[in-house]
Structure 1
């Protein structure tokens, strides 16, 4: 967890965002050259302050330049101008001014702090550390350098030094609750549980309504197995923040884990009553439990909340997701079917339910589920896409194309839609349309390995554009170097080119990566046959035939032909 440090306030004052577009281009009268005029320098500096308050930053810069011109050793004008440069990310100019000040006054605290900020922004943490350590050694009266330095050590995974710096901050600023809190974080990272707990308590003594220290204390008490303190701390937190649904849910789950399901259920009912007006509980349940794989706890929690809100579509959607994870398919389908069109999760629920039906070989029901969704949302491109995919799965290719065309008409910048159309065209034996669809897909997603491979392999199968096919497939391999199917495609390109020895090298790699694919094994047999290695070809064909479920007769013909004495192959690349 990154430490968020306070914005640094320097002697020249605290300013908001500076976005004057004329900052770099303003043209004002040339300054009078009356060097050493202290009164003039003071006048220009005061005028600059007024311009800053007015937001006229370009003019403020000009006045500051005049103040510096009249008093080149003046500190405040240089720091003020450096602040303007920093706000505009002109860090080199800012650092140059600050280094001028430090050359004259090496221990000037404001200049050192500003230098530290610039080093941080430039990704120079060691230089920033050195500057901030010097500021602290000088006894800084500003808490910001402590926060910045502690944050640098924390980000560098150095909790010991972070604890040291925040400890110094606690001594210097004992009423700064952030100092105690971050000291506790650093101590906890070192495993010093009791000392960390005391630091968090001191933070809460200064600011009792803070949420974060309570959560850290709960974490410590859980590690220590102190059940009573866990519950008491949750209750104290909820007394200050009764609408903290995340804490309420966590307390319910804690009761459940301790065997007190009735207390947990009582809290879940309260959460269920709140879920319509405070949906944060659902997000917390999803992120903290579902996404972390705590599916049994998620089921328990969502079931309890549904007792109080039986029609809540969001809860039914999450229930569907988690029951699917637990392979409770029928229960998942039941919950997903209760997500109504007005729900923000309606589209996802329809698609998820349809996919579950398709996976259960209930493709026609999956199609009907998507069609029902389209009646409520006819312009949902994803609905049309999945309808096309399910028609394709059922061998209804013309209907699949119609659905995919509808998806493309709504969203023609979705590479997946064009790719799927190409696959359907391939199954319909329309190679020119395959090429067109895959080229459109690649125009949108040029780094998609699957599309690169599909187009390259299509060229190879047709025996055309073989050099382009080689380039496409090699590019796909740079993206997925250990993909056996792409490796097979490259072998097949070389086979079609008549470069059989190279084809053999690649097909051996492909079989090693995917040892049980019948097409890859058949390709190996073809390559061995071209290299006059009859025994290896026979072995590859036989292994392929054992695995093949389609076009088995064509492979049997190859085996018969290969076993005839001194017969050349009928086909040629």
Structure 2
């Protein structure tokens, strides 16, 4: 070795030592293909790390040190710290060429590819590295980390299970595999995995917690409670397992039945001794105090919560999630009523209390609180539109229309008020008013396809077929993918028995957009019926009837198609279904179907055949 070479080599070692490189040690027992560095948990950033030089293959005696893998790896580390990425890559690739069996060199190369945003290249190299040495845990862990955000999730469970075979105490791998199972609703697999984890790591509280979660999702309430209690025994200050124990008691599917309110209060109070600001526990204790007749205590706590919620939207949203989002409407009424005492004019309290009453089918109480929501509230318009429907629900349709008319006068260009008011006019058979209002709205919103579609539908109802057809054509011109307009125009043609080829094209396009829409399927069936292809008509109409639960007009269409194919028994049964599903306002349809039933019953001579689906000759 030349003096210049030796001098360069030692300077390089000094620079690496000063810059933080791991100290070079010489312990001949180290394995050739493994870097003895603690593997990073799966969620930590991938980073380059140096390894002791005894992880390299022994150098060839008498060979120039510059030709050793060790030398090029040290050069790579120095260049990497200097952010000279291209030169560092070249040095690392040279080291790999000289020592191709050193797995840690390839792992650092993978990390370099990732830092350069070459994930696919890194993933391919990691897979080849695992193929070369399938029992190397570090290689497997690195591949698993690379696949964390990869769409090819099906390959993950076997890979993670293999890691657990080789490293059965690896906590992160258990949790990652369990997460995959839980997200894919593979609850039995998750239950087996977390059972294994809890047996292997009995002092690890997380294992018991997720075992409890898996049992709870499996409906194993006793085992779930035991697992959550084990979690608490290991970590007494944890809140989440205590809340899960409450969830078990309150679960409607729990065979133990309704929980003891006093026991629930004690559990929530225990949570509050650990975490006095726990919002769920504060809300639920107040509700339970009210439920158990401790009205003064409940009122004081609701007052405190109301004052806090006025300033803290997070508490308010916790109440919404806990009660309204979980369909606990009666409880929501209690809680929001209690908080309302702190500020009777509060927009949020009145809005959510109105929503709770509406969801509890208490329209009069909902109206009372919705009326208190001010125009400044972000949900103001929603409350006003809802109020109109609630007025109609309690039999005050005229008041509902007047209410919407008032809002329309205040905001004459508001599309929502125009649309809803027109719908009310239409329902009250005030078709001229509806068309005039929609036309007025279109003057300022000529390309509003929702208004146009509604106008076309009202024109049709008013008997203005040509105008309706022209309006629907305009909707389709503005939006060729409007499935409703395509279907409406196609069905109109079919019902009139005109332009049947055009009708088929229109409805087929609508079906491409909404293939499982029962009303569009009915339209296609009716096109085939009008074309005389009754067998095809039956196929479409049967699917349409099933999807719409035998909606009256669709059931009548299907019964007509059965008649055309000679299936009188099926036709009669289906006409009866149409009659059963008809609305009181469907007077013309009811009359037609009733007459057809009478005629069919006269044709069918043996009443017993009504219990059969056979065709009567």
Deviation at 1:310, TM superposition (A): 0.9
Work out which of the residue numbers 176, 179, 200 in structure 2 matches 1:148: 176
1:43 corresponds to: 75
2:138 corresponds to: 110
- Cα 1:13–1:232 shift into 2, 3 Å: farther
Deviation at 1:432, TM superposition (A): 4.5
1:307 corresponds to: 341
**Structure 1: unaligned runs, 5 residues or longer:** 1-5, 15-33, 563-573
CA–CA separation in structure 1 for the residues paired with 2:125 and 2:543: 62
Deviation at 1:262, TM superposition (A): 4.7
- Indicate conservation of the 8 Å contact 1:341/1:376, yes or no: no
Work out which of the residue numbers 72, 76, 87 in structure 1 matches 2:104: 76
1:192 aligns with 2:223: yes
Deviations 1:73-129 (A, max 9, x none): 443332123235457785553344335544665543321211233455321133223
1:23 corresponds to: none
TM alignment of 1:18-167, pairs within 5 A: 36-51=68-83, 64-69=92-97, 71-85=99-113, 92-99=120-127, 101-102=129-130, 106-118=134-146, 121=150, 122-123=152-153, 124-137=155-168, 140=170, 143-155=171-183, 156-157=186-187, 158-167=190-199
Deviations 1:453-507 (A, max 9, x none): 3221112244433113124445666847683x55654454345435567668877
CA–CA separation in structure 1 for the residues paired with 2:442 and 2:541: 36
Deviations 1:274-316 (A, max 9, x none): 2221233443333333343333222222222222221122222
TM alignment of 1:289-438, pairs within 5 A: 289-360=323-394, 362-374=396-408, 380-401=414-435, 403-404=437-438, 416-438=450-472
- Indicate conservation of the 8 Å contact 1:159/1:187, yes or no: yes
Deviation at 1:375, TM superposition (A): 6.1
SS of residue matched to 2:310:
coil
- Indicate conservation of the 8 Å contact 2:194/2:208, yes or no: no
SS of residue matched to 1:308:
coil
CA–CA separation in structure 2 for the residues paired with 1:353 and 1:470: 42
- Indicate conservation of the 8 Å contact 1:119/1:127, yes or no: no
Higher relative contact order, structure no. (Cα contacts within 8 Å, ≥ 6 residues apart): 1
CA–CA separation in structure 2 for the residues paired with 1:527 and 1:389: 35
SS of residue matched to 2:44:
coil
1:24 corresponds to: none
- Indicate conservation of the 8 Å contact 1:44/1:66, yes or no: no
Name whichever of 390-399 and 265-274 sits farther off: 390-399
CA–CA separation in structure 2 for the residues paired with 1:377 and 1:60: 68
1:213 corresponds to: 241
- Indicate conservation of the 8 Å contact 2:545/2:554, yes or no: no
Question: What is the RMSD computed on CA atoms of the aligned residues?
Answer: 4.8
Question: What's the TM-score once normalised by structure 2's chain length?
Answer: 0.68
Deviations 1:355-407 (A, max 9, x none): 22234454443233334445666664322321222233334445434544566
CA–CA separation in structure 1 for the residues paired with 2:362 and 2:446: 37
Name whichever of 349-358 and 35-44 sits farther off: 35-44
Deviation at 1:161, TM superposition (A): 1.9
- Cα 1:126–1:204 shift into 2, 3 Å: closer
Deviations 1:206-254 (A, max 9, x none): xx3x542331243356678576664344234335544443332222333
Name whichever of 351-360 and 232-241 sits farther off: 232-241
- Cα 1:154–1:464 shift into 2, 3 Å: closer
1:17 corresponds to: none
Deviation at 1:348, TM superposition (A): 0.9
Deviation at 1:349, TM superposition (A): 0.3
Q: How many pairs were matched up? A: 516
2:321 corresponds to: 287
CA–CA separation in structure 1 for the residues paired with 2:202 and 2:575: 74
- Cα 1:379–1:273 shift into 2, 3 Å: farther
Question: What's the TM-score once normalised by structure 1's chain length?
Answer: 0.72
CA–CA separation in structure 1 for the residues paired with 2:195 and 2:445: 54
Deviation at 1:196, TM superposition (A): 1.7
Deviation at 1:342, TM superposition (A): 0.5
1:457 aligns with 2:485: no
**Structure 2: unaligned runs, 5 residues or longer:** 1-40, 50-65, 600-617
SS of residue matched to 2:341:
helix
2:44 corresponds to: 9
CA–CA separation in structure 2 for the residues paired with 1:37 and 1:529: 86
- Indicate conservation of the 8 Å contact 1:68/1:77, yes or no: yes
